[in-house]
Structure 1
Amino acid sequence: MIRSIVVIILLLNSVNFIAQRTSSSPYSYFGIGDQFSPRTVEQNSMGGIGVAFNHYKYLNFTNPAAFADLRYTTYAFGLLNSDLTVKSGTTEQNSVSTSLSYIALAFPVGKNAGLSFGLQPVSAVGYSLSNTVTVNDEITEASAYTGNGGVNRFYGSFGIKVYKGLSLGVEADFSFGDIENSIINQRANVSLATKYNEVINLRGTSVKFGAQYQKELKNKLMLTAGATAKLGNSLNVEGNDYLYSFRYTSAGSENPRDTISSTLIDGEFNLPLKTNFGVGLGKFDKWYAGVEYESQNAIGSTDLLANTTGAYRYGNSNRISLGGFYLPKINSISSYWERITYRAGVRYENTGLLVDGSGNTSNFTEINDFGISFGLGLPLKRLSTVNMGFEFGKRGTIENNLIQENYFNFRLSLSLTDTNWFVKRKID
């Protein structure tokens, strides 16, 4: 019981920790930043699959129907360390960021249902870009673009078995966050620089429905299928933007002079219906292999800084993932290595983001993402596990004056199991 109380306190006090999540991707300049799909370390290690996958002790952030199969109270904490190499046509730069990726709690409700709630990031903004104009080998104008902040979400998921092999689930969440973007422009032989600063907060709710069906075949093989539909929703965008002049002090700080304009921001970030389908085949606590396909129509937005310049737009997005796990012998006494879960997967994603690198708002390039992942589930006492995941990937391209990102993600999670809260203890 003490452990349960401690975990709840950590959950309630981790808002600031996740809110400080950093991103070093230049693509976080667009929209509400670098967006994250809710997945556990175990799921990410299998290429991101999860819509048709369920387990009696592991959480599933993709399909709420999977919680119907949960048999133990489980606490989960996830960390992400991202090593990012950014390439343009002539330069290359490296950065590293570490952050908490989720904290969650799940527990069975009776024999046929399960409930989970937690806190996760939705997006992160963290970029610092610059651009110069050169005439006769002399810099005549320089601009600096910076941004920070992000969006997080509280979620609650419930899954229940409604018929032989069929489970249904529902998830509701509340998203919130703050983002600040700014553009500084300085011209040669002009004493004052100008700065455009935008500060916005975002709020919104969403609902997702899920279903899973499993059927036992010959030789103890289990066939599973799953589907989810996240209904379309909007994030309300409110805030202010300011345009003012300033002078740099000798210490490098700003000394504001005149406010040129000030405007209230009242817009939306519109997320259309997102669907996900998948199938899988495996043996209980032995192996599993699955494939899934996710799609969403074009995202829409109004009154966000980046799209006022026409630098980007959104198209339809989709993702295909393949992956699975292998567990040699779950109850092996002679070899610890045989009790380790080995995971691997691959994914290809069309992010839906199209960016114009030419500056004439007529030559947009798709930003695609490809990743290969693998991981280990290291067993501890009482069914608890330490999960490690490794992912190598590439996003974007250097064509059309754009940026290519090569990344290595290391993920770490602790999955702790406990006695069920709703089962009366027996005393001998």
Structure 2
Amino acid sequence: MPIRFRFFLFFLIALYPASLYAGGSSYSYSSYGLVEFRPNIRALGMGGVNIAVPSGYTINYNNPAGLIGLRMTRFEGSFYYEGVKVSNSSQSAFSNSVNLNHIAFAIPFGKNVAAAFSLARYAKVEYNYKSFSSFEGTDYTEKFIGDGGIRQLAFTVAGKVHPQWTVGISAQYLLGSVQRNWQVAWDSPDFSNTNDSRTENFAGLRWVAGGIYEYQKYHFGAYVAFGSDMTKKVLQIDALGDTTFQSYGQAVSPFEIGLGGTYELNTRYIVGMDMVYSGWNGVKAFGNTQDNRNTIRVSLGAERSPSEAISASYFDKWHYRGGFYFQNMYASSAGGKFANEYFLTTGFGMPFNKGRNVFDVTFELGLRGTVSTNAVSDRIFRINFSVSGGERWFQNRQRR
């Protein structure tokens, strides 16, 4: 594939709209929305295991130290289709969307230093639902609409400081905008319909540091994301549409720590586990503590690497993965109840162009909340697609 064509594909993905179709979940009603766990597609196929996994042909942008392992300059982009079936005790509805997952560009400078730029999803607000009520015998309909989210733009540097130790640091700029709308429509002309609009803009910088330790067939990894202040600008038009308010304040991203490990069963099979803690309890917005809880995410997964034998069959030269992850959600649904998420994942990768490029596909099947506990549940199905390419920049020509 010519270099110019690779650049064209890369920037085409970068300009791709974040969402093509309306969809959503009432669980994204909270201040920051759904904080999305969207690592690279290799990690997704392994249930999210990535903290102790060096980059290889994919770019590990969750643990900064994971950049080490790249053999050539990598370009990477991915998007996914998501279908969500939302159910309560009396009815259900289906929505779908197509979203950009991430884009990344990484350069290794020899074997011991690497740097990368990446743009990834951090949180998403996407809901559209109605409720029906009455006041003094008059019926009315409330409609709640939210759309937008927060992106993460990162610059990461990693270096090998010892044959067994790798460290890295990442500067991550969080930015985004969320639009919320609350409409009330009355069945009687004696009451005035209202339309309350609110736009929230977020911006702030956080730092992430990580490390990976290698010992024989084991890899152990850890990272820390330091909580940081974000500026929050709010523009609000009141319910009657004749008054505009503008205010500024501070929002806070939570402290986060992740631990992970992998074990090589042999040259082709690895298994791994990650655990991530996020300190959402006590996070404030505009000086007010939010009604959040701390969260824990646990990931388990495995990968089978391609055979390098010349006589290997076509399908034996693919990557195969499977995994599972669980996490409790930091914010409650609109009904005031906290929920958990459970996901099964599986995927495969198809190398081409002599192994320099890889096309990956990953499937996710998940459950968010239950009707009995949370009054509403989401059943989620995702198909993730990723293309990565490689070039031997900043390397000795004899090695080309």
TM-score w.r.t. the length of structure 2 is: 0.91
In the alignment, is the contact (CA less than 8 A) between 2:26 and 2:334 conserved in 1?
A: no
Structure 2 CA distance for aligned equivalents of residues 197 and 66 of structure 1: 42
Unaligned runs of 5+ in 2: none
| TM-fit CA distance, 1:74 | 1.1
The structural deviation recorded for 1:15 is 5.3
Give the distance between the partners of 1:112 and 1:141, measured in 2 at CA. Answer: 65
In structure 2, the CA distance between the partners of 1:239 and 1:346, relative to structure 1 (3 Å rule), is: same
> Counterpart of 1:403?
376
Gap change, CA 1:14 and 1:139, over 3 Å in 2 = farther
Relative to structure 1, the CA distance from residue 322 to residue 166 in structure 2 (aligned partners, 3 Å threshold; closer, same or farther) is same
SS at match of 2:397: coil
Identity %: 21
Q: In the TM superposition, what is the alpha-carbon distance from 1:122 to its structure 2 partner?
A: 1.6
Q: 1:115 to 1:11 in 2, by over 3 A?
A: farther
Deviation at 1:104, TM superposition (A): 0.9
1:268 CA displacement: 2.8
Query: Is 1:379 the counterpart of 2:362 in the alignment?
Result: no
Q: Cα 1:106–1:230, aligned 2, differ >3 Å: closer, same or farther?
A: same
SS at match of 1:211: strand
For the pair 1:423 / 2:382, whether they are aligned, the reply is no
Match of 1:302 in 2: 285
Aligned-residue CA RMSD (Å): 2.7
Question: TM-score, normalised on structure 1?
Answer: 0.85
In structure 2, relative to structure 1, the CA distance for the partners of 1:31 and 1:16 (3 Å cut) is farther
Size of the alignment, in residue pairs? 397
Matched residue SS, 2:17: helix
Aligned residue for 1:7, secondary structure, equals: helix
Aligned counterparts, 1:267-282, within 5 A:
267-282=249-264
Superposed counterparts of 1:16-27, under 5 Å:
17-18=17-18, 23-27=23-27
Establish whether residue 240 from structure 1 lines up as the match of residue 235 from structure 2: yes
Deviations 1:396-425 (A, max 9, x none): 121356310011111010111221x21242
**Alignment partner of 1:102 is 2:102:** yes
Change in CA separation of 1:4 and 1:165 when aligned onto 2, cut-off 3 Å: farther
Cα displacement (A) at 1:171 = 0.8
CA contact (8 A) 2:23 2:128 kept: no
1:152 paired residue number: 151
Alpha-carbon shift at residue 191 of structure 1 (Å) = 5.5
Asked if the contact 2:124–2:150 (Cα under 8 Å) also holds between the matched residues in 1, the reply is yes
Instruction: Give the letter for the 1:343 counterpart.
Output: R
Q: Distance in 2 between matches of 1:284 and 1:425?
A: 32
- Tell me if structure 2 keeps the 8 A contact 1:49–1:323: yes
Query: What is the DSSP-based 3-state SS (H/G/I as helix, E as strand, rest coil) of the residue aligned with 2:320?
Result: strand
Kindly tell me: are residues 234 and 371 of structure 1, through their superposed partners in 2, closer, same or farther at Cα, counting changes over 3 Å? same
Confirm or deny: 8 A CA contact 1:146 1:183 kept in the other structure. Answer: yes
CA shift at 1:313, angstroms? 2.1
Structure of higher CA gyration radius: 1
User: Unpaired segments of 5 or more residues in structure 1?
Assistant: 217-221, 246-257, 358-363
Which deviates the most, 335-344 or 320-329?
A: 320-329
Aligned to 2:362: 389
**Residue 12 of structure 1, CA deviation:** 9.2
Instruction: State how far apart, in whole Å, the 2-side matches of 1:285 and 1:415 are.
Output: 23
Whether the 8 Å contact between 1:69 and 1:113 is mirrored in structure 2 is no
Query: How far off its partner does 1:82 sit?
Result: 0.6
* Offset from partner CA, 1:233-278 (integer Å, 9 cap, x none): 1221102111143xxxxxxxxxxxx62x432232333122100001
Structure 1 residues 399 and 139, CA gap change in structure 2 (3 angstroms): farther
